[in-house]
Amino acid sequence: MVVARGVPDSAAVLVPHAPVGVSAARHRLATDLDTRGIGCDVVDDAVLILSELLSNALRHARALPSGNVRAAWWVRPDGLLAIEVTDGGSSTRPRQASPSLSAHGGRGLSIIGTLAADWGVRGTPDEVTVWALVPIEQRDGSDRLWDEFDLDAVDPLD
């Protein structure tokens, strides 16, 4: 179950400390940003960032005392979209990893670092918030990760 509260320029959702709530939070964020007329590229980046932050919280951290993880987003006066996820903390602080090419994970914060204007961590031993800032104005797309790949050169699987 996702409990939500919305105000004109911000929203917060409580997501169960389980994968079931991630898609509902992603959908809520996408709907909120679309309603505000924010461009598709920004919405896609924001949804991916939220998904990575929530996935990391579910995989590596404890739940808040309520048994949930909190996701929040709002438009700042400086034109940046703030996205944050708060959990019950863990024995280590979130940090970017350098996974091997064959690793099945460990790339989430690197993806966030590429898509966001800035990101960071704040908190106490009992509560940790990982945040990211996303510019709302449209970008030309030249810095997107997948623009480095020539999709026409990829052989289809048969």
Answer yes or no: is pLDDT of 143 > 70. no
Q: Look at 16 and 149; give whichever has higher pLDDT.
A: 16
Residue 41 has phi, psi (to 5 degrees) of -60, -40
Amino acid at 31: T
Q: Look at 55 and 2; give whichever has higher pLDDT.
A: 55
Give me the pLDDT at residue 144, please: 43
Distance, in Å, from the CA atom of 142 to the CA atom of 158, rounded to the nearest integer, reads: 31
Per DSSP, 141 falls in state S
Answer yes or no: is pLDDT of 139 > 80. no
Q: What is the pTM of this model?
A: 0.75
Amino acid at 155: D
Answer yes or no: is pLDDT of 47 > 90. yes
Per DSSP, 21 falls in state G
Are 127 and 64 a contacting pair, CB within 8 Å? yes
Q: How far is residue 143 CA from its own chain's centroid?
A: 18
